[in-house]
Chain A
Amino acid sequence: MEATDRLFYGLVGLASLAAIAACTWIGGGAGAAFGLFAVLVLAGSLTCIWERSVVRSAFCLIGTFGGTAGLFLMLGSDFLAMSQILIYVGGILALILFGVMLTPPDLTERKLPRVMAGLVAVGAGVAFVAAKVAATVHWVEAATLAEPQHETEQIGVAFLAYDQYMIAFELAAVVLTVALVAAVYVARRRKIDLEEEGAEG
């Protein structure tokens, strides 16, 4: 572990603690939970960008996806939180790790100046836009939030009711089938490749 890495992780840890403390101070218990999940999301993606090894980056993404699931829970959407964990952590992350294992590691690819420049430039851009938005836009929020109830049942009914999302639901199934079959077709080793390798070996 290099000195810059140590410095980076120290800074990320301190900033995370400060953010959680600030959220707790503002919002009490709910604020603490929000701060924890938000810190998971942001620190996960930050360390994903920073990490030298692709495997570690992929595992850092667990924080991002799990934190997003937590934010969905905070927003009263438990079905979405569960499907987020199932599909992202269980499916997409496993796919990415699969890809990582099938390609060679390249530990020299991360250039520190480029990472710093990217973070500073995009951070400045986001800060600028956020300041503009905070100054000019006033979100219209519902005065009282309705208690979320039986979300899974509602979603199931909406998926199967012919006047709501049935067409989209069936189309999504078709898209998934076609995409997965196509992925298998594209990723397969062609017979001619295998014969060439056999001739070489």
Chain B
Amino acid sequence: MGLGAYIAVSAALFALGIVAILVRRNILYVLMGIEMILNAANINFVAFNRFNGGGLEGRMFAIFVIILAAAEAAVALAIVLNVFHLFNSVKPAEADLLRE
């Protein structure tokens, strides 16, 4: 399969991540959507790297994306726990302390 097929899969995965963030009113779905989007970006990096000479740059970038995704997931989960503790809710719309 050529480059276009990989780009198509990654575009669809990116779009589904956006849908997960927009459609489900739950912080955990926002987290999952972000992970989908990062995965889509990674597929793009590795695919372009593969079909464009096959150096190491794209794969290195993908590795750093994975590393930062792990850090992001840990911090985001801690924030989710705190938000739930404060507002007794996992809906992003109800975390509105600054409005009052």
Distance to closest chain A CB from B43 (angstroms): 6
Residues from chain A with Cβ under 8 Å of B15 in the complex:
122-123, 125-126
Distance to closest chain B CB from A171 (angstroms): 9
**A139–B1 alpha-carbon span in the complex (Å):** 14
Is the C-beta of B98 less than 8 angstroms from some C-beta in chain A?
no
Interface residues on B, range: 35 or more
- A75-B47, A172-B64 given; A148·B78 CB < 8 A: no
Flag if B32 contacts A180 (CB, 8 Å): no
- A58-B32, A179-B74 given; A118·B64 CB < 8 A: no
Flag if B80 contacts A99 (CB, 8 Å): yes
Residues from chain A with Cβ under 8 Å of B32 in the complex:
48, 57-58, 61, 96
**Interchain Cβ contacts under 8 Å between A and B, 25 examples:** A23-B1, A30-B1, A46-B16, A54-B26, A61-B35, A77-B49, A87-B66, A88-B35, A88-B69, A92-B35, A95-B73, A96-B28, A96-B77, A106-B26, A109-B26, A119-B19, A130-B11, A134-B4, A158-B56, A175-B67, A176-B71, A179-B74, A180-B74, A182-B78, A187-B77
Flag if A96 contacts B71 (CB, 8 Å): no
**A45–B8 alpha-carbon span in the complex (Å):** 15
Within 8 A of A (CB), among B40-56: 42-43, 46-47, 49-54, 56
- A129-B11, A183-B74 given; A64·B39 CB < 8 A: yes
Residues from chain A with Cβ under 8 Å of B24 in the complex:
49, 109-110, 115
Flag if A148 contacts B54 (CB, 8 Å): yes
- A45-B13, A80-B59, A110-B24 given; A145·B50 CB < 8 A: yes
Residues from chain A with Cβ under 8 Å of B52 in the complex:
140-142
Which of A49, A139, A187 touches B19 (beta carbons < 8 Å)? A49
Task: Map CB proximity to A onto B85-100 as digits: 1 under 8 Å, 0 otherwise.
Answer: 1000011000000000
